[in-house]
């Protein structure tokens, strides 16, 4: 077995330029889901991925995905979701692999140093839109299976691929398709793996076992029936924006403490075991603060900062709809304003219970305000938090793979932001879902100069192959 792994790793190393070439071809297809003129390229990319999987021997099917109506009224075909079946041996367990083939928009003059749709290698980094989000990780699976095939290593699990083309545009249609296939394509799934997030830092691999949820709120305040001129009417009306600003000022203090009563009581208590996970994580607060350009963080303590990002709720104010937002000066008294804020939720905050506490707190504030204006707190649809079991067979296989490739224990992290497909897959399969990131924290997904390190791409291929072999042991 050790020999097998050594051979596999050597073989993967020897195919480096072939894998880079594979990524180059994928990056060349500008599959930007958010831009109508690139919709055809998303379809092209789905076809391209299908060919890659079929070359390996997978059976593929494109699941049609209806229409999309853009805000300007234009109607576009949604790209199909690509289902791929690699092996269907009833004696083997089945792994579900999710990934996406669409990318964020990119133009050279957005501030890219290279052509975004031309993969460019420089200093051990592969620059290009989609290199790390998420074409590189998806092709990592293709590389891994190809390498095993080339070496005559049988894949010990069946794999079901779910590859979509609308992830960067809200995964439109995906949930409906997955729900419709709960008892068919998804029926025999034993575990799932998603490679669509990033290491916490630049040097040490991690496994992600949790996601914060989000509960989003609007505060609607209607004053007089139309916008008024502040010169003519200022000083006599109860201004809706004054009310709103006051209400919004009562939600969170300067230290990030949420002022909504009862919310902290919903948060799962910290166990000694969980606390130790944060202590072990390789994370430099100072360099994190420098990266985001913060002079000072709410705390400069590593464990506290990690827990604030991963396991405690946070409240952020996002903005105001209906008020003046342009540059310059406008002397309007806005008639109706809508304040926006959201709470990142964690176990055991049930969205419904959070909504109840928030609305009740807002109503209490409002009666304290004593304004004659019309007040309406509106909870929007949110997403719940998720935590996996780091001790289960799926996570154990992931951990063993990382140890074999990198020679170190991975960090166990939770993500502050939501990755909604994780929850959908978890709910539909009722089995373990693991997030196994390939890229590093500085890959600049969604930003200019997106890249994946050659080493992350190649070692990642090894991790995915090893993970498959490890899954065969459970």
102 as an active site residue: the answer is yes
188 or 220: CB nearest a second copy: 220
Return the range that interacts with a second copy (CB under 8 A); candidates 52-60, 103-111, 228-236, 396-404: 228-236
167 as an active site residue: the answer is yes
Q: Which entry of 41, 134, 164, 167 is annotated as an active-site residue?
A: 167
For position 223 contacting a second copy by CB under 8 A, the verdict is yes
For position 474 contacting a second copy by CB under 8 A, the verdict is no
DSSP code per residue over 243-265: HHHHHHTTSB-TT--B-STTGGG
Q: Is 390 annotated as a binding residue?
A: no
Q: In the set 324, 350, 359, 387, which binds a second copy (CB under 8 A)?
A: 324
Q: Is 418 annotated as a binding residue?
A: yes
For position 327 contacting a second copy by CB under 8 A, the verdict is yes
305 or 468: CB nearest a second copy: 305
Closest separation in Å from C-beta 23 to a second copy: 25
Burial 41-65 (b: 16+ CB within 10 A, else e): bbbbbbbbbbebbeebebebebbeb
Distance of CA 370 to the CA centre of its chain: 41
Q: Is 168 annotated as a binding residue?
A: yes
For position 442 contacting a second copy by CB under 8 A, the verdict is no
Q: In the set 214, 423, 452, 468, which binds a second copy (CB under 8 A)?
A: 214
Return the range that interacts with a second copy (CB under 8 A); candidates 34-42, 96-104, 325-333, 466-474: 325-333
For position 329 contacting a second copy by CB under 8 A, the verdict is yes
State the binding string over 300-319 for a second copy (x if CB under 8 A, else -).
-----x--xx--xxxxxxxx
Closest separation in Å from C-beta 178 to a second copy: 22
Q: In the set 16, 340, 376, 426, which binds a second copy (CB under 8 A)?
A: 340
Distances (CA, A) of 154 to 157, 179, 239, 472: 9, 31, 71, 10
Instruction: Catalogue the long-range contacts made by 378-382 (C-beta closer than 8 Å, 24 or more residues apart).
Output: 378/217, 378/218, 378/219, 378/220, 379/215, 379/216, 379/217, 379/355, 380/216, 380/217, 380/218, 381/216, 382/213, 382/214, 382/215, 382/216, 382/342, 382/345, 382/351, 382/354
9 or 361: CB nearest a second copy: 361
The β-bridge relationship of strands 158-164 and 94-100 is: parallel
385 or 461: CB nearest a second copy: 385
Q: In the set 31, 371, 432, 466, which binds a second copy (CB under 8 A)?
A: 371
308 or 424: CB nearest a second copy: 308
Closest separation in Å from C-beta 316 to a second copy: 4
Round to whole Å and give the CA distance between 409 and 402. Answer: 7
Q: Are 336 and 323 in contact (CB under 8 A)?
A: no
Q: Is 331 annotated as a binding residue?
A: yes
| Residue linked to tokens 């304040």 | 339
Of 355, 351, 323, 352, nearest in space to 339 by CA: 323
Assess whether the previous peptide bond of 134 is cis (omega < 30° from 0). yes
Q: Is 392 annotated as a binding residue?
A: no
Instruction: Say how many CA atoms lie within 13 Å of 65 toward its Cβ.
Output: 29
Q: Is 344 annotated as a binding residue?
A: yes
Q: Are 198 and 445 in contact (CB under 8 A)?
A: yes
For position 370 contacting a second copy by CB under 8 A, the verdict is yes
CA dihedral (424, 425, 426, 427) positive or negative? positive
Which of positions 247-306 make contact with a second copy (CB under 8 A)? Answer: 248-249, 252, 254, 256, 292-299, 305
Round to whole Å and give the CA distance between 214 and 224. Answer: 33
For position 239 contacting a second copy by CB under 8 A, the verdict is yes
181 or 369: CB nearest a second copy: 369
Q: Are 179 and 115 in contact (CB under 8 A)?
A: no
**How many residues at the interface with a second copy, by CB under 8 A?**
75
Which residues are designated catalytic? 102, 167
Q: Which residues are annotated as a binding site for Mn(2+)?
A: 100, 133, 168, 196, 446
**Residues annotated in a binding site for substrate:** 196, 229, 331, 344, 418, 446
């Amino acid at each position: 077995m050790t020999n097998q792994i050594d051979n596999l790793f050597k073989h993967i190393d020897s195919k480096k330029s072939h894998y880079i070439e594979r990524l180059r071809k994928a990056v060349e297809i500008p599959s930007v889901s958010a831009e109508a003129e690139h919709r055809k390229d998303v379809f092209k990319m789905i076809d391209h991925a299908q060919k890659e999987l079929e070359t390996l021997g997978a059976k593929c099917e494109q699941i049609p995905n209806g229409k999309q109506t853009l805000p300007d009224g234009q109607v576009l075909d949604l790209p199909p979701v690509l289902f791929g079946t690699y092996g269907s041996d009833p004696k083997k367990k089945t792994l579900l692999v999710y990934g996406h083939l669409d990318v964020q928009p990119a133009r050279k003059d957005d501030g890219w140093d290279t052509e975004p749709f031309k993969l460019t290698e420089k200093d051990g980094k592969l620059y290009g839109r989609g290199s790390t989000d998420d074409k590189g990780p998806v092709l990592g699976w293709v590389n891994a299976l190809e390498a095993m095939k080339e070496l005559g290593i049988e894949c010990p699990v069946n794999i079901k691929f779910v590859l979509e083309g609308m992830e960067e545009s809200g995964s439109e249609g995906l949930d409906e398709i997955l729900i419709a296939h709960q008892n068919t394509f998804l029926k025999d799934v034993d575990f799932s793996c998603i490679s669509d997030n990033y290491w916490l830092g630049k040097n040490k691999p991690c496994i992600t076992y949790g996601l914060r949820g989000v509960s989003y709120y609007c505060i609607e305040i209607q004053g007089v029936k139309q916008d008024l001129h502040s010169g003519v009417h200022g000083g006599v009306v109860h201004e809706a924006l004054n009310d709103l600003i006051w209400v919004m000022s009562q939600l969170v203090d300067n230290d990030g403490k949420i002022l909504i009563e009862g919310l902290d009581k919903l948060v799962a208590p910290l166990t000694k075991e969980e606390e130790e996970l944060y202590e072990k994580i390789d994370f430099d607060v100072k360099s994190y603060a420098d990266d985001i350009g913060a002079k000072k963080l709410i705390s400069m303590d590593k464990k506290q900062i990690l827990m604030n990002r991963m396991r405690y709720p946070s409240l952020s104010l996002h903005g105001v709809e209906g008020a003046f937002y342009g540059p310059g000066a406008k002397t309007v008294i806005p008639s109706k304003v809508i304040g926006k804020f959201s709470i990142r939720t964690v176990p055991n905050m049930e969205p419904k219970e959070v909504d109840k506490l928030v609305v009740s707190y807002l109503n209490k504030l409002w009666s304290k305000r004593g304004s004659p204006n019309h007040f309406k707190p509106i909870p929007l649809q949110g997403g719940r938090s998720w935590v996996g079991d780091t001790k289960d067979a799926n996570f154990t296989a992931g951990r063993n793979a990382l140890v074999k490739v990198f020679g170190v224990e991975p960090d166990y992290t939770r993500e502050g932001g939501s990755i909604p497909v994780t929850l959908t897959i978890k709910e539909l399969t009722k089995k373990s879902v693991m997030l196994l990131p390939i890229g590093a924290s500085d890959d600049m997904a969604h930003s200019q100069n997106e890249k994946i390190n050659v080493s992350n791409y190649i070692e990642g291929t090894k991790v995915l192959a090893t993970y498959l072999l490890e899954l065969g042991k459970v």
